[in-house]
Amino acid sequence: MKRRFILMATLVVFGIACFGSSAAAQNRSGSYTNREGELVVRDKGKSQPLTFSFTVGNSRGTCTGEVEGKANWIRPGVAEFRDESCKLMFVFTANRVRVTEGPDCGYHGVACGFQGVYRRARRR
């Protein structure tokens, strides 16, 4: 019984160490796009804020938006930007980032926004 417990504990610790470190160490720097905008990210590691620059616009050109700043990591793969005018949540997966936006973000017009799924652009 004691051996089984030690074996299980070892496997749990090993799994956390392996999977946790690979998720945290993944560099998410790059350009991410969708049909309405572009998000450029600079990831300096898990202990450093994520630096980003965001531009959006609708297809008619009647609405544009722009914001840049630093988002703090709140857990592996998830970063949050918050200031007096806006809140953005970035959830990273393999080659995508899902952005959710808090209410009344003041960095874009009424007809467009930052919220959506952005795919990583191919590196040249």
**pLDDT for 97-115, tens place per residue?**
999 999 889 899 888 899 9
pLDDT at 3 over 90: no
Higher pLDDT, 24 or 71: 71
**pLDDT for 8-44, tens place per residue?**
444 333 333 334 434 445 789 999 999 989 999 999 8
Q: Which CATH class is domain 28-120?
A: mainly beta
User: SS3 of 36, please?
Assistant: coil
Q: Where along the chain do its domains lie?
A: 28-120
State the pLDDT at residue 122: 80
Residue of 122, 120, 92, 110 lying closest to 34 (CA atoms): 120
Give the whole-angstrom CA distance, residue 19 versus residue 83: 32
Q: From residue 100, how far is each of 25, 103, 118 by CA, in Å? A: 23, 10, 11
